Amino acid sequence: MLKYADLKISDLITLSDLPLPSTSIFTSTQNNTPRLRPEKTSWILVDHNALQGELGKLYSNHVRGCIDHHEEENSVPKETGDEPRIVRKSGSCASLIVEYCKQAWDDLAAESASSEEVKKWDAEIARLALAPVLIDTTNFTVETRTTDSDRDAAAYLRARISAVEEGFNQDGYFDEITKAKVNIGGLSLKDILRKDYKQWKDGEKVNLGVSCVVKDLEFMVRIHNVPSLQHIVSKSPKVRKIRSRTVLM
């Protein structure tokens, strides 16, 4: 997917790039405070609406807005001023982002309507944004998961893609990204478990963790040549402190 927008994996910022106290090389040795000082940050949550875990402890008072399609957790302040505060059901969170950005995007595009190069960039971003909409709605085949926001967003994005690419084939694109999604052979087992991992607190003490994996247990054990999945899960540092863990396949 990234290749369509001329992006590399290294262009992405992930949690492991953030200077948190637990990653000791980033911690100031004097007082164990995070180098990324909370008061210097402001956060817009996307695809979740409560900052969890270590990030939550440090930065939840600095959340300034959110765009999300999960249940409302009443964690983001109700008043967010100029920042978005959108929590609404939709198949894909990306659809809500497209909806929110549409006007600004149209205005920007109008300013450079004659530039072929800008049209090409717009189409690249549209392709990138369309991928999660297709994945989350299984290419619009799962009715119960699809809303008007998803259909509208996809139509809008398709128009941007078609502006430079005649005969854009959505089904073909869906097949391609689905293949990429299940192609996890090159990842270590630890990364597979981290890839779609969510952890949260139930009450004060109980930490729950869920890894979602796109392959079955047999694949995981065979490819990675380990005695059992249990063996690896218990060693994975990220999930060590949890009371209950689940792996969905």
User: What is the contact surface with Mn ion in residues (CB under 5 A)?
Assistant: 47, 93
Q: Which secondary structure element, helix H or strand E, spans residue 67, and what is its range?
A: strand 63-68
DSSP class per residue in 141-197: T-GGG--HHHHHHHHHHHHHHHTTSTT--HHHHHHHHHHHHH--TTS-HHHHHHHTE
Nearer to Mn ion, 47 or 165 (CB): 47
Q: How many residues does the chain have?
A: 249
CB 111 → Mn ion: shortest distance, Å?
Answer: 32
- Whether the Cβ atoms of residue 40 and residue 47 lie closer than 8 Å to each other: no
CB 93 → Mn ion: shortest distance, Å?
Answer: 4
- Whether the Cβ atoms of residue 84 and residue 64 lie closer than 8 Å to each other: no
CB 136 → Mn ion: shortest distance, Å?
Answer: 6
Nearer to Mn ion, 47 or 54 (CB): 47
Nearer to Mn ion, 123 or 157 (CB): 157
**Rounded CA gap, 239 and 220, in Å?**
18
Nearer to Mn ion, 58 or 76 (CB): 76
Nearer to Mn ion, 93 or 192 (CB): 93
CB 132 → Mn ion: shortest distance, Å?
Answer: 8
CB 116 → Mn ion: shortest distance, Å?
Answer: 34
Bridge pairing between strands 244-248 and 43-46: unpaired
How many H helices and E strands in the chain?
Answer: 8, 6
